[in-house]
Amino acid sequence: MMKPCKTFFIAATVSAIMIAGCSNEKPTPGNTASTTAPSSEPVTIKISMDTTLDEDLMIQIQEQLKKDHPNITVEFIKAVKGTTLQELIIAGQPPDIVLTYNGKIASYQDLDILYDMTPLLKQMNVDLGRFDPSILEDSKIGAANNEIYGLPLSLNYHALYYNKDIFDKFGVPYPTDGMTWDQVLQLAKKVTGVDSSGMQIRGFDPGNSVIWVSQPLGIAVVDPKTEKATMNNDQWKKVFEMVKSFYSIPGNEPKGTPKDSFLKDKLLAMYTDLSIINDLELAAANGLNWDMVQYPSYPEKPNIYGNASVNMLMITKTSQHKEQALQVIQTAVSDAVQLESARKGRVTPLKEPMFKTEFGKSRDVLKGKNVQGIFKSKPVKYPVASKYRSKAESMVRDKFTEYMTGKIDVNTALSRLDEEINKMIQGSTQ
């Protein structure tokens, strides 16, 4: 028996508008779209949360749905034991919508729930021109023939966060937008040392070893087409050597958890991470005097940061209420919801400039902060990832540690990684 989960119920109104066109298209199994207006009968749309979503955003969607579609009740199903997406499917209770992120799309192939929304989007006159084209493309990762399996809801960004008090103690100017990695390195040297209270201050930590630092270059650990390791090359060598140069600054050796060192201990001057506004809010309440600037760039890849995981809402192939499910999604990506979401510090997938200019304006923790700096960079094109990516990246971090601690040189580290990752993949396929 499935365990009960917490649900959020939402009511919503239907515009009974008949959409002409598309009716000449011959439907294919799993992709049928009615030529009639969506029913205004009461219906429950179940959403499986296969990634996290701020409860505040759920409330925003709830409130707007009350105005837009009061005949629709939405049930958000959290992924706890007994109600994960896979468990729902096995139990014969598949959801109508999956809340996920683009990097997971390929993993749904085996679940047989992917549904190309393209005909339905055309039928219901959904304006895809509202979305940032690059984010819309990133949401198609895992689609073999340009299928649209879901619409983007929000996305992560990368930024360089810094502790203003530490810079003030060392008498060093604050970081600025537009810095290269080498400029960050030189700045880190100036704010690494023992402060007046005798505490060791670290100048910088990239947050996720070499992985996030590699992403702006568009390089992968495993080629998804060949399922072969791609480590032994000059680009990965540059990443390994650069990150080691940070950790080789006397006093800046890795210590503890970088995020805690920055947010809680206040012993880290600069730190790169994703969207951590909620964490910063708590840290600021505990005395962290912080600000943010644009993510560092490579000279050959200016104004590019790493992978921006795109949160998406996908209609499932098995849903019996696809039109109403799309109405829910349309409300979630409406200007009203997205504007309020942007004001609360979430990056919207919509391209209208106002969503950037209004970013963070209703969050006290962001007042007076350089929030516009994050928009000076764009995410690298999201990669089509190998199914071995996670395990291979873990091996990369371990091997980098061997290199950083002087156990092996960089060339040996990279060549061994190719060998060991390929061996791992071969063992997984046998």
289 and 204 in one domain?
A: yes
Largest interatomic CA distance in the chain: 76
* 323-347 average pLDDT score: 95
- In this prediction, residue 58 carries a pLDDT of 86
pLDDT band at 52 (very low <50, low <70, confident <90, very high): confident
Q: CB neighbours (10 Å) of residue 85?
A: 23
Phi, psi of 428 (to 5 degrees): -75, -25
Q: State how many domains the chain has.
A: 2
Specify the pLDDT at position 7.
39
Mean pLDDT of 360-383: 94
Sequence-ordered list of residues with C-beta below 8 angstroms from that of 247, at least 6 positions apart, any chain: 253, 254, 404
Q: Angle at which helices 181-190 and 234-247 pack, to 10 degrees? A: 10
In this structure, the answer to whether residues 149 and 172 fall within a common structural domain is no
Phi, psi of 242 (to 5 degrees): -70, -45
CATH number at residue 127: 3.40.190.10
Mean of pLDDT values over 230-240: 97
Predicted local confidence at residue 14, as pLDDT: 32
- Segment 212-225 shows an average pLDDT of 93
What's the pLDDT at 3? 42
Torsion of CA 259, 263, 265, 266, to 10 degrees: 110
Q: Would the pLDDT of 1 be above 50? A: no
- The model's confidence at residue 218, banded by pLDDT at 50, 70 and 90, is very high
Confidence of residue 39 (pLDDT cuts 50, 70, 90): confident
Assigned domain for 404 exists: yes
State whether 18 and 142 are in the same domain: yes
Q: How far apart are CA 124 and CA 275, in angstroms?
A: 33
Clarify whether residues 420 and 337 are in a common domain: no
Using alpha carbons, select from 239, 245, 241 the residue that is nearest to residue 219.
Answer: 239
pLDDT average, residue stretch 70-83 = 90
Beta bridge partners of 379: 305
Does residue 427 have a pLDDT over 90? no
* 164-182 burial: b if 16+ Cβ within 10 Å, else e: eebbebbeeeebebebebe
Mean pLDDT is lowest, of 11-20, 114-123, 338-347, for 11-20
Contact (CB, 8 A) for 27 and 33? yes
Instruction: Report the pLDDT value the prediction gives residue 18, as an integer from 0 to 100.
Output: 34
Element (H, E) at 203: strand 200-205
Do residues 291 and 366 make contact, with C-beta atoms less than 8 angstroms apart?
no
- Please give the pLDDT value at position 10: 37
CB-based contact 60:10 (threshold 8 Å):
no
* Backbone φ/ψ region at 168: left (φ over 0), alpha (ψ -120 to 50), beta: alpha
Q: Based on the domain organization, do 166 and 314 belong to the same domain?
A: no
Please report the pLDDT score of residue 164 as a whole number.
98
Say whether both 324 and 391 belong to one domain: no
| Confidence check: pLDDT of 8 > 90 | no
For 124, residues 6+ apart whose C-beta sits below 8 A from its C-beta are: 19, 38, 323, 326, 327, 330
Average pLDDT over residues 114-136: 95
Domain boundary among 329, 352, 375: 352
Is 300 among the domain residues?
yes
Q: Is residue 6 pLDDT above 90, yes or no?
A: no
Residues of the domain holding 213? 159-306+383-429
